[in-house]
Structure 1
Amino acid sequence: MSSTDRETFLNLSVTTLVVFVDDTGHEHFADYNHPVYGLGGCATLGCHLEAMIRRPWKAVRQAVVGNPDAILHAAKFDASRENIGVVVNFFRTQPFARIAAICSHTTGFIGIEPPDRQPLRSVSLAFMKRIEHIAKWTAFTNMAIVFESSDRANSLIEEEFANSKFTLDGQPVPIEFYFMPKSTGEPALEVSDFIMHAVGRQVRHRIKGRNGFVPDFRAVFHNVDDRLASFIDITDVVCEPTKQSGQHA
């Protein structure tokens, strides 16, 4: 995998399917208050990245904090009614794909080795399946997957995805992986942060025994074309070739 600073190394063609990825939780469920681990984010073709994600998200920044270049964090977001409305409108009107796979301390793992890799391994496989779901509706020639850089997790992510392959109509698709720091201010990474914040809240909602969907999750994954949304909350994993079950949006 390569490290990239958005402008120098991330060279996308108009037919590149680019996927920006953030995580939520900890791969060992180390956070007692947030016992989940998930990967997810947003995707679009290179030719649509500016129009569908970058420019509209800069307009969100402008509306929320008065600066189109300010970096937003979902966990520190000023959730006033007006600000929430701006973000909800962004997710409901921009036709980019949004995907996520997540598990929690309540997920059952059978046959996944080594045990300390169960969450990451299961989520990484399920995440690639989410990409398959949205990719089958998209005409693309190659793929770029851009992870938000993390000192803790980069080496683990690199190891899990090192042998990932993707085929389209039986033919292999060139795929490149990148790490990009949050400090670049890449709007698509911020959008992925907001997506995964909503996903984490939804799973905590489920763990507490509550029904239905939390509002920010609905804003991200509902009221959008089904071809643009793919989510799984993994409840059980059995090590028979990629057999998984869970709650889908």
Structure 2
Amino acid sequence: MNELIFETEKGQFPLSEQTFVVVLDDTGHEQFQDPNYRVFGLGGCAFLAKDYLRLIEKPWNYMCEHYFAEEERPLHATDIRFSSEQMGALKHFFEKFEFFRIATTTSYKVDSEVDERLIDIVGASLLQRIVDVAKWADFDRMFIIFESSDRIESKVMRSLSGKKVTKGAREIEIELAVMPKSTSFPALEVADFIAHTAGTQTRSRNEGEAKIRADFDIIFRSIDGRLVSFMEITKACEAGNA
């Protein structure tokens, strides 16, 4: 494979093998409007373009065809009542295929002492999560895809735009694009499951559950720790005032 081509709302983007691709989704609402899910977060998967077919597209599509054939795609984690067989298939996928997973969440309980909008705080934290895992990858370009959303797309893109990452002696500008979920792009479906799982773990903790949820354990804790970066923001304050 010489390049990977993604179809986004801005057209086609050909990506070289060494492009570090990050695919993101959101979970919850930034103003905590759902009384049953007073959480907000951003999360998703990341991989080198050369590994996409092997780590994401082929195994995810295989799993969907064999274990989720009756579910309409694109898959949404919130819409499915999982059977034990489906949970086993998801466990196999997330434990066997070693792509990067990142997420930042917060909740209505956040103690914020700063003027920044919460979505900008979450976006800044997510960028640090991306940098945290990207240091283990050999890349020459970084490309972030976010699921298109009338409500939140512009806010998330603003929080991520104009940023650069350092790789050795180079500064690499982060490129951004959005993609509609209707494409059933496998990486967006995977990002949905990762973001949702991070959000439900935060909700469970807020409700007094001390133990780690099984789905969170599978996605975030069952693989090499270098592939994972997760943060729940419980307090936001100016530097030096923590």
TM-score over 0.5 (shorter chain): yes
Letter in 1 for 2:99: F
Counterpart for residue 189 of structure 1:
188
Deviations 1:208-247 (A, max 9, x none): 1111211111110011001101100111111228x98xxx
Letter in 2 for 1:197: H
Q: CA deviation at 1:70?
A: 3.7
Letter in 1 for 2:108: H
Deviations 1:129-167 (A, max 9, x none): 000110111100000000000011112122222222211
Deviations 1:48-68 (A, max 9, x none): 001100111001101223389
Q: Is the 8 A contact 2:10 2:177 kept in 1?
A: no
Identity %, equivalent residues: 38
Q: Is the 8 A contact 1:58 1:69 kept in 2?
A: no
Counterpart for residue 38 of structure 2:
35
Letter in 2 for 1:88: K
**What TM-score does the superposition give when structure 2 sets the normalisation length?**
0.92
Q: Structure 1: any 5+ residue segments left out of the alignment? A: 245-249
Counterpart for residue 172 of structure 2:
173
Q: Secondary structure at the match of 1:49?
A: helix
Letter in 1 for 2:51: H
Counterpart for residue 123 of structure 2:
124
The count of aligned residue pairs is: 237
How has the CA–CA distance of structure 1 residues 70 and 168 changed in structure 2, closer, same or farther, with 3 Å as cutoff? same
Q: Is the 8 A contact 2:9 2:178 kept in 1?
A: no
2:146 matches 1:147: yes
Q: Structure 2: any 5+ residue segments left out of the alignment? A: 1-5
Q: Distance in 1 between matches of 2:9 and 2:139?
A: 21
Counterpart for residue 247 of structure 1:
none
Q: Distance in 2 between matches of 1:63 and 1:128?
A: 35
Counterpart for residue 99 of structure 2:
96
**What TM-score does the superposition give when structure 1 sets the normalisation length?**
0.89
Q: CA deviation at 1:86?
A: 0.3
Q: Secondary structure at the match of 1:107?
A: strand
Q: CA deviation at 1:121?
A: 1.3
Letter in 1 for 2:78: A
RMSD: 2.1
Q: Is the 8 A contact 1:63 1:86 kept in 2?
A: no
Q: Secondary structure at the match of 1:12?
A: strand
Counterpart for residue 232 of structure 2:
233
Q: Is the 8 A contact 2:9 2:177 kept in 1?
A: no
Q: CA deviation at 1:6?
A: 8.2
Q: Distance in 2 between matches of 1:132 and 1:210?
A: 30
Q: Is the 8 A contact 1:17 1:44 kept in 2?
A: yes
Q: Distance in 2 between matches of 1:6 and 1:216?
A: 32
Q: Give the number of the structure whose residues are more often strand, by fraction.
A: 2
Q: Distance in 2 between matches of 1:68 and 1:216?
A: 19
How has the CA–CA distance of structure 1 residues 170 and 11 changed in structure 2, closer, same or farther, with 3 Å as cutoff? same
Counterpart for residue 202 of structure 1:
201
